[in-house]
Amino acid sequence: MKLHRRYFLIGGAAVVGAGVFSVWWGDKAALSRAKQLTTGPGQSSFAGWLKIANDDTITVYSPHIDFGQGSHTALAQMLADELDADWSRIRVEQAPADYAFGNTALAKLFVPSLAGQPAMKHLPDQVFSLLARNVPLQVTGGSSAIRATGQYGMRVVGAAARLALIDAAADRMGVPKSELVASDSRITHAKTGKVLRYGELAEAAARQDLVSEPQLKTRDRYTFIGKPIDRFDIPAKVNGTAQYGIDFALPQMRVATVIAAPVRGGTLQSVDHAPAMAVKGVEKVIALDNAVVVVASGYWPALKGARALAPKFGDGGHGGLSSASIYAAQGQLIAAGKPDNHYTTGDAAKVLSAPGAKAIRAEYRVPFLHQAAMEPFAMTGYHADGRLEVWGGTQDPIQTRNLLAQFSGLPVDKVTFHPMIMGGGFGRRFPPYTQIIEQIARVAMQVDHPVKIIWSREEDVKQGAYRPQSLGQLQAALDADGRIAAWQTDYAQFADAESETVFPYTVPATARRHYKYISNQVDAYWRSVNSTQHGFYNESFMDELAHHAGQDPYQFRRAHLPAGGRHLAVLDAVAKRSNWGAPLPAGTGRGIALVESFGTICAHVIEAGLKPDGTPQVHKVWAVIDCGTTVNPKNAEAQVQGGVLMGLSTALGEAITITNGAVDQNSFPDYPILKLADAPLVDVHFIESDAPIGGLGEPGLPPAAPALANALFMATGKRIRTLPIARQLA
């Protein structure tokens, strides 16, 4: 997800001109509160994010939640590297959902417009501190943990704390700082043989003001960055002890489930409670504005009770909406020719309409997509003595807490949110559209016991916050040499995707025109966000143009990429690894695609054909990624493998469709997720460089769908322009 345009608006914060700023390190109120929240006797806090105990235990507080991406471990690697810490004593904890743990570093990445202004040169930390602590910002998304929090936060804290420890050691030993060496959580003075442990120095070091711009290591001096260190979270995830939000329980807890208006935007008109109350174990039926909640002794009676109800919901005026009507409306918006946003280089329209120009045109369509995290929404709330406590998982604990306060009517300081690990998220769990936050706040206020709400899978599928359905019309003209002379993209969807989609090719005239289309569905982030549909548009169309030009798709792309650039290096590497150009068996095709997203360049080659039943069979995927530095190569490989296969899953069969304003799908049988038998081998290769570090949770995904469609074109001669592929080639 790209945060800076939308998330900050959702947060409602006015960023600039807010007056007095506190410095990051010098934000004494926040640091003092962080210390109070996390440290006990014998423990010292550094900038809030690092705690060193007298026994040498080192705790790193992560402002990012864990929903599978592995960044807790990688963030600790980055901090420990700069700290010269003993890895065996490192652990990671989730930072509390408190303003003191607003993620300053994240703000720094996502407000480039501020950071880039000369007048702001000496202000950023102050601005970012204000932003992070007051927006407040504790987001996990945008493939940002490593490139923002790790780079601007963890490494800086580690390096600054190390300098403070060295200062403290110099004082204690009475020797010059320059003669001290830090390693393995010890500081050694070689001449005298004196050694002090970090645990012995932490208290004195923590009394110092940290250096705000410490020198960071160069890559040749990394000790933990770049190492395939085992993730901290995995042992508990293989023996059943990991506690997800859905697993939390309190004594006397009740369990509830929800049925919300099937047409998004509709409200609850009436419901007869009696059929649910007649179910053994059901204790209460609660009517919310747009949903009905059944509270029972356990999930099973709650579900039976909910299914016994026949609530009447309005459709909010959206009852006429369907997938077909959305595509039609989007096409009409483009036909009307009044884009809401328009970005150009050169004069594409002139080239395309020049006498004798032969424009090549294609229309692509992609459906709503559901994140389908394996853990359905679940949150536990307990309201007692004027306080509300809630346990669960979201992609922004601080904002979750604020929303809980808003919906419960309690002041924020009477609300505690305990962030827990999540069974996946993929963009579904951003607080503004995580409906269960409002539901648990309202329900907990009306139940005399602790209560856990669990959504059914059907509710999860039908009440989603989807990747938007989008329609793109692309056109281009080739010059006499078969090079692209002009390229124009017209697309209709809610969000302007310009800032999220990098067009890597050198084309003299380009136009990208966005037509804002608003449906009754939430415009949500979905893993890789706008790079999924625009990656599909651009890379499918590149293939079509190569075909028109009579050129090999790989060579055609090469010809449009700057020589010596990172994109070309990634493309060449994936072609080489996949043995591009080698003969293939009959019925098998090879497709290539290149997409940059979240600061990372990724290319895939996919070999695929058709099964006897005419559905696609993916034989193998090669992925090459340049994200600058891979902090943990083993986990980085997993993120890319997972991203590739999730991308294939969407291309093969996933679609949320709408009929009469409501979602048609119910559960996994009609929203099919790729399974192991259809998962090809995914060969992953990273190009390491000194380029700025890029994101990794998302960029592996976008090239998958176009590379597959391009492979199937080579195999069958049929061009896929609408996703999912499903049975189009059968």
Partner 1 sequence: MAIETSVNGKPVTFHVDDDTPLLWALREELRLTGTKFGCGIAACGACSVHVDGEVVRSCSVPVGTVAGKSITTIEGLGTPEAPHALQTAWIAHQVPQCGYCQSGQLMAAAALLSHSPRPTDAQIDAAMTNICRCATYVRIREAIHAVAGTSAGAVA
Could you tell me if 441 and 453 are in contact, meaning their C-beta atoms sit under 8 angstroms apart?
no
Q: Which of 128, 147, 138 is nearest to 74 (CA)?
A: 147
Contact range with partner 1 by CB under 8 A, out of 199-207, 419-427, 518-526, 707-715 = 419-427
For residue 586, with 0-12 CB atoms within 10 Å meaning exposed, 13-18 middle and 19 or more buried, which class applies? exposed
Candidate list 291, 422, 465, 575; residue touching partner 1; CB under 8 A = 422
Choice between 629 and 632, CB closer to partner 1: 632
Verify binding: residue 88, partner 1, rule CB under 8 A.
Answer: no
Indicate the SS3 state at residue 2: coil
User: Closest separation between CB of residue 233 and partner 1, Å?
Assistant: 7
DSSP string, 97-159: SSGGG--HHHHHHH-HHHHTSGGGTT-HHHHHHHHHHHTT-----TT-IIIIIIIIIIHHHHH
Choice between 636 and 709, CB closer to partner 1: 636
Contact range with partner 1 by CB under 8 A, out of 46-54, 228-236, 469-477, 543-551 = 228-236
Instruction: Please tell me what DSSP assigns to residue 674.
Output: P
Integer CA distances (angstroms), 314 to 216, 290, 321, 469, in order: 58, 9, 14, 23
Helix locations, 566-699, DSSP H: 566-577, 633-653
Contact range with partner 1 by CB under 8 A, out of 306-314, 330-338, 597-605, 664-672 = 664-672
Choice between 427 and 504, CB closer to partner 1: 427
Choice between 124 and 643, CB closer to partner 1: 643
CA atoms of 628 and 637, how far apart (whole Å): 14
Verify binding: residue 231, partner 1, rule CB under 8 A.
Answer: yes
Could you tell me if 352 and 376 are in contact, meaning their C-beta atoms sit under 8 angstroms apart?
no
Verify binding: residue 9, partner 1, rule CB under 8 A.
Answer: no
- Write a three-state SS string for 75-103: HHHHHHHHHCCCHHHEEEEECCCCHHHCC
Indicate the SS3 state at residue 592: strand
Candidate list 191, 241, 337, 386; residue touching partner 1; CB under 8 A = 241
Choice between 85 and 420, CB closer to partner 1: 420
CA atoms of 114 and 131, how far apart (whole Å): 11
User: Closest separation between CB of residue 458 and partner 1, Å?
Assistant: 8
Candidate list 69, 129, 144, 435; residue touching partner 1; CB under 8 A = 69
Verify binding: residue 246, partner 1, rule CB under 8 A.
Answer: yes
Angle at 455 between CA 701 and CA 66, to 5 degrees: 45
**Other Cβ atoms closer than 10 A to 216:** 14
Choice between 45 and 650, CB closer to partner 1: 650
Could you tell me if 665 and 656 are in contact, meaning their C-beta atoms sit under 8 angstroms apart?
yes
Verify binding: residue 525, partner 1, rule CB under 8 A.
Answer: no
Choice between 163 and 378, CB closer to partner 1: 378
Could you tell me if 466 and 535 are in contact, meaning their C-beta atoms sit under 8 angstroms apart?
no
Indicate the SS3 state at residue 567: helix
Verify binding: residue 552, partner 1, rule CB under 8 A.
Answer: no
Verify binding: residue 589, partner 1, rule CB under 8 A.
Answer: no
Q: Which residues have CB under 8 Å from 223's CB, separation 6+?
A: 81, 84
- Rounded to an integer, what is the distance from CA 370 to the centroid of its chain? 14
Verify binding: residue 682, partner 1, rule CB under 8 A.
Answer: yes
Which residues on adjacent β-strands are paired with residue 539? Answer: none
Verify binding: residue 669, partner 1, rule CB under 8 A.
Answer: yes
DSSP string, 45-65: EETTTEEEETTS-EEEEESS-
Verify binding: residue 645, partner 1, rule CB under 8 A.
Answer: yes
Verify binding: residue 424, partner 1, rule CB under 8 A.
Answer: yes
Verify binding: residue 531, partner 1, rule CB under 8 A.
Answer: no
Total residues in contact with partner 1, by rule CB under 8 A: 64
Choice between 415 and 618, CB closer to partner 1: 618
Verify binding: residue 668, partner 1, rule CB under 8 A.
Answer: yes
Verify binding: residue 235, partner 1, rule CB under 8 A.
Answer: yes
Verify binding: residue 476, partner 1, rule CB under 8 A.
Answer: no
Candidate list 128, 391, 407, 426; residue touching partner 1; CB under 8 A = 426
Candidate list 93, 112, 278, 300; residue touching partner 1; CB under 8 A = 300
Choice between 107 and 645, CB closer to partner 1: 645
Verify binding: residue 677, partner 1, rule CB under 8 A.
Answer: yes
CA atoms of 289 and 260, how far apart (whole Å): 9
Q: Which of 400, 540, 524, 389 is nearest to 469 (CA)?
A: 524
Verify binding: residue 251, partner 1, rule CB under 8 A.
Answer: no
Candidate list 36, 192, 243, 446; residue touching partner 1; CB under 8 A = 243
**Other Cβ atoms closer than 10 A to 715:** 23
Verify binding: residue 141, partner 1, rule CB under 8 A.
Answer: no
CA atoms of 417 and 411, how far apart (whole Å): 13
For residue 677, the number of C-alpha atoms closer than 13 Å in the C-beta half-sphere is 2
Verify binding: residue 375, partner 1, rule CB under 8 A.
Answer: yes
Could you tell me if 110 and 144 are in contact, meaning their C-beta atoms sit under 8 angstroms apart?
yes
Give the N- to C-terminal CA distance of the chain in Å, as an integer.
Answer: 35
Contact range with partner 1 by CB under 8 A, out of 124-132, 345-353, 556-564, 661-669 = 661-669
Verify binding: residue 240, partner 1, rule CB under 8 A.
Answer: yes
Verify binding: residue 247, partner 1, rule CB under 8 A.
Answer: yes
Verify binding: residue 704, partner 1, rule CB under 8 A.
Answer: no
For residue 153, the number of C-alpha atoms closer than 13 Å in the C-beta half-sphere is 32
Verify binding: residue 675, partner 1, rule CB under 8 A.
Answer: yes
Q: Which of 656, 96, 194, 131 is nearest to 418 (CA)?
A: 96
Candidate list 190, 195, 249, 278; residue touching partner 1; CB under 8 A = 249
Verify binding: residue 449, partner 1, rule CB under 8 A.
Answer: no
Choice between 202 and 701, CB closer to partner 1: 701
User: Closest separation between CB of residue 296 and partner 1, Å?
Assistant: 11
Which residues on adjacent β-strands are paired with residue 682? Answer: 621
User: Closest separation between CB of residue 424 and partner 1, Å?
Assistant: 4
Angle at 384 between CA 382 and CA 388, to 5 degrees: 50
Q: Which of 597, 587, 699, 574 is nearest to 642 (CA)?
A: 699
Candidate list 307, 558, 634, 685; residue touching partner 1; CB under 8 A = 634
Verify binding: residue 308, partner 1, rule CB under 8 A.
Answer: no
- Evaluate the omega torsion of the peptide bond into residue 672 and state whether it is cis, within 30 degrees of 0: no
Contact range with partner 1 by CB under 8 A, out of 82-90, 159-167, 594-602, 638-646 = 638-646
- Rounded to an integer, what is the distance from CA 105 to the centroid of its chain? 16
CA atoms of 484 and 490, how far apart (whole Å): 17
Candidate list 255, 291, 495, 608; residue touching partner 1; CB under 8 A = 255
Choice between 263 and 625, CB closer to partner 1: 625
User: Closest separation between CB of residue 615 and partner 1, Å?
Assistant: 15
Contact range with partner 1 by CB under 8 A, out of 63-71, 191-199, 282-290, 535-543 = 63-71
Contact range with partner 1 by CB under 8 A, out of 74-82, 507-515, 679-687, 718-726 = 679-687
Candidate list 303, 334, 592, 593; residue touching partner 1; CB under 8 A = 303
Candidate list 97, 131, 372, 696; residue touching partner 1; CB under 8 A = 372
Verify binding: residue 278, partner 1, rule CB under 8 A.
Answer: no
Verify binding: residue 145, partner 1, rule CB under 8 A.
Answer: no
- For partner 1, the binding residues (CB under 8 A) are 67-70, 230-231, 233-244, 246-247, 249, 255, 280-281, 298-300, 303, 371-376, 421-426, 454, 456-457, 634-635, 638-639, 641-642, 644-646, 649, 667-669, 673-677, 679, 681-682
